[in-house]
């Protein structure tokens, strides 16, 4: 039997803005069901790399493949339909919609079963299958008790869980989580870490996590990739990369 290739493969990916090389020759893989942390100081190029993977930016050089298929030229929505989900540094939610409504919109976008004009005229009712999937996703991230609560009434921690649940409603094989613990307190961060572990364990979803909180990175990831000034400077287990003198100098501000 032939060895299965990586879920996500980056080879020599580069992106520049004017004369600034934001991402320089980045190469690494994410295997199916694996959790990988992408860490580094501010300005390291992590979010730029995320944007290249998701399609918001076009990489200048190198290749990005998902399940062996090149993503070059594919718009963001087609990448999402292939199985790439994403959350953002800022929680992108609709304040007047309930938690359930957020996930129903995401489920209908995934299945492409709804009709926009019917939805706008309140003439389209969710199917039993749609309702079941939405309820299951809310249960997965611990939002069932808040299902009918407007997002405007939620704290930041629950808003981030809504955004995470919305991404998961698309049933991604790979979740790109960009600073999901930003602005959360210690308890909310612990809850988020638990959800990310459940996603990986119960759904087999691969996770590529950009995160400054080293505690959540250590708890969640199987492997870490460290970037600094657009380049990859280390890769390995979390413990290995944190002991690397180059990483300690670039990321923790300690001398080599």
First vs last C-alpha separation in the chain:
45
φ, ψ of residue 15 in degrees (nearest 5): -150, 130
Between 43 and 49, the higher pLDDT residue: 49
Phi first, then psi: give them for residue 117, nearest 5 degrees: -65, -35
Confidence class for position 2, pLDDT limits 50, 70, 90 = very low
Mean pLDDT, rounded, for 161-167: 86
How far apart, in whole angstroms, are the C-alpha atoms of residue 166 and residue 100?
10
Between residues 173 and 19, which one has the greater pLDDT?
A: 173
Look over the chain and give the mean of its residue pLDDT values, rounded to a whole number.
86
Q: Give 111 or 27, the one with higher predicted confidence.
A: 27
DSSP states of 134-203? HHHHHHHHT-GGGTTSBGGGS-HHHHHHHHHHHHHHT--SEEEEESTTTT--HHHHHHHHHHHHHIIIII
**What's the average model confidence in pLDDT over 52-76?**
95
Domains and CATH numbers, the chain: 1-83+172-256 (3.40.50.300), 93-170 (no CATH)
- Looking at the predicted structure, is the pLDDT value of residue 191 above 90? no
Nearest 10 degrees: CA dihedral of 181, 206, 109, 112? -170
Where does the pLDDT of residue 188 fall: very low under 50, low under 70, confident under 90, or very high at 90 and above? confident
Q: Say yes or no to pLDDT of 185 above 80.
A: yes
Whether 90 has a pLDDT exceeding 80, the answer reads: no
Report whether pLDDT(116) > 60.
no
pTM score of the predicted model: 0.86
- Residue 213 CA to chain centroid, in angstroms? 15
Average pLDDT over residues 167-180: 89
pLDDT tens digit sequence for 201-224: 888 999 999 988 888 999 999 999
* Percent residues over pLDDT 70 in the chain: 88
Least confident of 22-26, 145-149, 151-155, 213-217: 151-155
pLDDT at 121: 47
């Amino acid at each position: 039997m032939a060895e299965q290739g990586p879920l996500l493969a980056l080879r020599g990916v580069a992106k520049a803005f004017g004369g600034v090389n934001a991402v320089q020759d980045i190469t690494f893989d994410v295997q199916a069901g694996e959790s990988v942390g992408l860490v580094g100081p501010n300005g390291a190029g992590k979010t730029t790399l995320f944007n290249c993977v998701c399609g918001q930016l076009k990489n200048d050089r190198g290749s990005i493949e998902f399940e062996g298929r090149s993503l070059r030229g594919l718009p963001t929505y087609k990448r999402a339909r292939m199985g790439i989900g994403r959350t953002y540094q800022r929680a992108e939610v609709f304040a007047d919609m309930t938690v359930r409504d957020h996930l129903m919109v995401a489920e209908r976008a995934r299945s492409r079963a709804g009709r926009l004009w019917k939805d706008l005229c309140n003439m389209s009712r969710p199917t039993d299958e749609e309702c079941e999937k939405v309820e299951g996703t809310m249960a997965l991230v611990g939002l069932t008790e808040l299902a009918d609560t407007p997002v405007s009434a939620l704290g930041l921690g629950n808003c981030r869980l809504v955004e995470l649940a919305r991404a998961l409603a698309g049933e991604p094989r790979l979740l790109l989580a960009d600073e999901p613990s930003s602005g959360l307190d210690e308890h909310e961060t612990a809850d988020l870490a638990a959800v990310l572990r459940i996603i990986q364990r119960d759904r087999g979803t691969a996770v590529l996590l950009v995160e400054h909180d080293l505690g959540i990175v250590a708890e969640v990831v199987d492997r870490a990739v460290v970037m600094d000034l657009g380049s990859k400077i280390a890769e390995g287990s979390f413990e290995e990369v944190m002991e690397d003198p180059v990483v300690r100098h670039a990321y923790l501000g300690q001398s080599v």
